[in-house]
Amino acid sequence: MSGRFRRRPNPKKALATEAIQDLHHVLNESNEQSLSDASARLILRIGKKHGARMKNYSGIAICRSCKVAMVPGRNSTVRIRSKSIKYTCGICGRTKTMGPSFRGR
């Protein structure tokens, strides 16, 4: 009898994660709206294709309907209510509500 099958780490997923981190850095540092929107679309496309996600969420959200970078004060509004944060896209009007994490993180 042979031993259990062990899944090898996927090198494409590791490269995709690294590319997403680089694009996230460009998204945070760029002052041009077109460059940040292009990097936001690429982050979503790479994440969907390879199953990789952004780590270290640092405040810039991506609108899922119009696929632009939602930068607070530039093209989105942020409302802080008790126990929830509400992001509103200034282009399409979609809202994203983030509540508290009750998982003990």
Convert the pLDDT of each residue in 31-81 to its tens digit: 898 999 999 999 999 999 998 887 766 556 889 899 999 888 889 999 998
What percent of the chain has a predicted confidence (pLDDT) above 90?
47
Mean pLDDT of the chain: 86
3 state DSSP class of 86? strand
Q: Which domain range does residue 30 map to?
A: 11-98
**Domains held by the chain: number:** 1
Alpha-carbon Rg for the chain in angstroms: 17
- Nearest by Cα to 62 from 23, 100, 31, 101: 23
**Is 3 a domain residue?**
no
**Is 68 a domain residue?**
yes
Measured in degrees and rounded to the nearest 5, phi and psi for residue 3 equal -75, 180
User: In this predicted structure, what is the pLDDT of residue 52?
Assistant: 87
**Is 5 a domain residue?**
no
Question: Is pLDDT above 80 for 103?
Answer: no
Rounded distance between C-alpha atoms, residue 71 and residue 90, angstroms = 10
**Is 23 a domain residue?**
yes
The pTM (predicted TM-score) of the whole model is 0.76
**Is 31 a domain residue?**
yes
User: In this predicted structure, what is the pLDDT of residue 16?
Assistant: 94
**Which of 2 and 26 is assigned the larger pLDDT?**
26
Q: In this structure, are residues 35 and 69 in contact, taking their beta carbons and an 8 Å threshold?
A: no
